[in-house]
Chain A
Amino acid sequence: MTLYLAKRIERDRARFKKIVRGAIRSGIRKYISHGELIGRRGKDLVSIPLPQLEIPRFRFGQAKKGVGQGDGNPGDPIAVDPNGPGQKKAGSDPGEHILEVELTLEELAEILGEELALPRIEPRGKKNIVTQRDKYKSISRSGPEALRHFKRTFRQALRRQVISGTYDPAEPRVWPVKEDKLYRSWKTIPERESNAVVIYMMDVSGSMGDEEKELVRLTSFWIDTWLTSQYTGVERRFIIHDAVAREVDSETFFHTRESGGTRISSAYELCLKMIRESFPPQDYNLYPFHFTDGDNFSDDDEQAMDSLIRIIPQANLFCYGQIEGTYGAGHFLKRIQEKVNGEEKVRTATLRDRESIYDALKTFLSTGR
Chain B
Amino acid sequence: MIRRRDTVPWGPQESKEGKNLLKHSPAQKFPSELKRMKYEIQDHAQEFGLDFFPVIFEVLDYQEINEIAAYSGFPQRYPHWSFGMQFEEVSKSYAYGLSKIYEMVINNDPCYAYLLKCNNLIDQKLVMAHVYGHCDFFKNNLYFSHTSRKMMDEMANHATRIQRYADRYGTQAVEAFTDCCLSLENLIDPHATFIKRRDQDGLADQSSITSSGSGHENGSSCCDQDKTPAGNSAGCSSSPGSCPPAEAKAETREVDLFADDEDDERIPDRRLHSKGYMDRYINPPEFLRARAEKLKARRREKKRFPETPEADVLLFLIENAPLKNWQRDVLSILREEAYYFLPQGQTKIMNEGWATHWHSRIMTEKILKDSEVVDYADHHSGTLGGGRTHINPYKLGVELYREIEERWNKGRFGKEYEECDDLRVRENWDRKAGLGREKIFEVRRLYNDLTFIDTFLTEDFCRKQRFFVYGQDENQRAWVIQNREFPQIKKIILDSLTNMGHPIIKVMDANFENRGDLLLLHQHETRDLKWDFSRDTLVNLQRLWKRPVHVETVREGKKVRLTFDGREHREKLLD
A-to-B contact residues, CB < 8 Å: 1-6, 8-9, 11-17, 19, 24-28, 31, 37, 39-41, 46, 48, 50, 52-53, 55-61, 63-82, 89-90, 101
A67 touches B492 (CB 8 A): yes
Q: Which of B80-88, B348-356, B433-441 contacts A (4 or more CB under 8 A)?
A: B80-88
Q: How far apart are the CA atoms of A36 and B263 in the complex, in Å?
A: 47
Q: How far apart are the CA atoms of A168 and B352 in the complex, in Å?
A: 65
Return A28 CB to nearest CB of chain B, in Å: 5
A68 touches B470 (CB 8 A): yes
Q: Which of B24-32, B129-137, B291-299 contacts A (4 or more CB under 8 A)?
A: B24-32
Question: In the assembled complex, which residues on chain B have CB atoms less than 8 Å from the CB atom of A72?
Answer: 388, 468, 481
Q: Is B417 an interface residue (CB 8 A)?
A: no
The number of A-B residue pairs with CB atoms under 8 Å apart is 229
Q: How far apart are the CA atoms of A24 and B81 in the complex, in Å?
A: 12
Question: In the assembled complex, which residues on chain A have CB atoms less than 8 Å from the CB atom of B182?
Answer: 55
Q: How far apart are the CA atoms of A52 and B81 in the complex, in Å?
A: 11
Also in contact, A55 and B75, with CB within 8 A (given A40-B97, A74-B481): no
Return A100 CB to nearest CB of chain B, in Å: 13
Question: In the assembled complex, which residues on chain B have CB atoms less than 8 Å from the CB atom of A37?
Answer: 89, 92-93, 96, 98
Question: In the assembled complex, which residues on chain A have CB atoms less than 8 Å from the CB atom of B386?
Answer: 69-70
Return B13 CB to nearest CB of chain A, in Å: 18
Return A84 CB to nearest CB of chain B, in Å: 10
Question: In the assembled complex, which residues on chain A have CB atoms less than 8 Å from the CB atom of B97?
Answer: 39-40
Q: How far apart are the CA atoms of A12 and B522 in the complex, in Å?
A: 34
Q: How far apart are the CA atoms of A70 and B26 in the complex, in Å?
A: 47
Task: Give chain B's interface secondary structure class.
Answer: mixed
A68 touches B468 (CB 8 A): yes
Task: Tell me the chain B residues, 344-398 only, with Cβ under 8 Å from chain A.
Answer: 386-392, 395
A27 touches B478 (CB 8 A): no
Also in contact, A60 and B529, with CB within 8 A (given A9-B87, A55-B182, A80-B387): yes
A71 touches B84 (CB 8 A): no
B493 touches A67 (CB 8 A): yes
Q: Is B186 an interface residue (CB 8 A)?
A: yes
Also in contact, A12 and B502, with CB within 8 A (given A57-B537, A72-B481): no
Question: Closest chain A residue to B186 by CB distance?
Answer: A57
Also in contact, A50 and B92, with CB within 8 A (given A58-B187, A65-B471): yes
Partner of A13, one of B87, B96, B529: B87
B179 touches A64 (CB 8 A): no
Also in contact, A67 and B481, with CB within 8 A (given A55-B182, A58-B522, A61-B528): no
Also in contact, A60 and B527, with CB within 8 A (given A1-B60, A9-B71, A69-B465): yes
Also in contact, A40 and B388, with CB within 8 A (given A4-B25, A78-B481): no
Encode contact with A along B387-424: 1 for CB under 8 Å, 0 otherwise.
11111100100000000000000000000000000000
Q: How far apart are the CA atoms of A2 and B288 in the complex, in Å?
A: 47
Encode contact with A along B149-183: 1 for CB under 8 Å, 0 otherwise.
00000000000000000000000100110010011
